[in-house]
Structure 1
Amino acid sequence: MENWEDLQKALIEFRNLRDWEQFHNPKDLALALSIEAAELNELFLWKSAEEADKEKIKEELADVFAYAILLAEKYDLNINQIVMEKIKKNSEKYPIDKAKGSAKKYNEL
């Protein structure tokens, strides 16, 4: 699969074949996304980044993406468009001349 739309279609087909859409309301998708992100974080707890299990990272990251894609579908959001809009917004908040090499928040630059 080469793009978000193909992934979204595959996820929707998977979900629909199992009659799971009834459980996929926006609130529960957002909660599932948060829980999967926490499970991803847990893989790094008390270890260096190099010690984390790459296969488990792959699985948890896939879950994070899957729930985010399904949540975008619930609100009919175009993933490419909303990410590009966010990049544009952040480029205004973090101009290169002030933000390059800095981890400061935009209001501290």
Structure 2
Amino acid sequence: MKAIPLAAALLGLTAAAMPATVSAQRGWQPIAQRQGNLDARIDQGIRSGRLTRPEARRLTTEMRQLSRLESRYRAGGLNQWERRDLDRRYDALSARVRFDKHDRQDRRYR
């Protein structure tokens, strides 16, 4: 009879710990996933007309340069400083994509 309350208590503790674990993991995305998300946002901006050709070209070039930098970092093993540097650079690129997509320099407003 004591097995059922014990199992219920363990299940409750496990369920309570899950949201904290999941939310902690959501804060950090693997670099490959960030690249894919940014690439998809740039493509969507091009298709929707929210990015002008020069903006899209510049963002794509920055994305390529960032990818090359990551390859150089990974060649020697990615340390904590390099990971933070890449995170900072991807954050900045993400902010530029967001700004360029909402700066009203698309064909609908000209």
Q: Same fold (TM over 0.5)?
A: no
Specify which structure has the higher proportion of helix. Answer: 2
The structure with higher relative contact order (CA 8 Å, sep 6+) is 2
Which TM-score applies when normalising by structure 2?
0.33
Which TM-score applies when normalising by structure 1?
0.33
Give the greater-gyration-radius structure (CA).
2
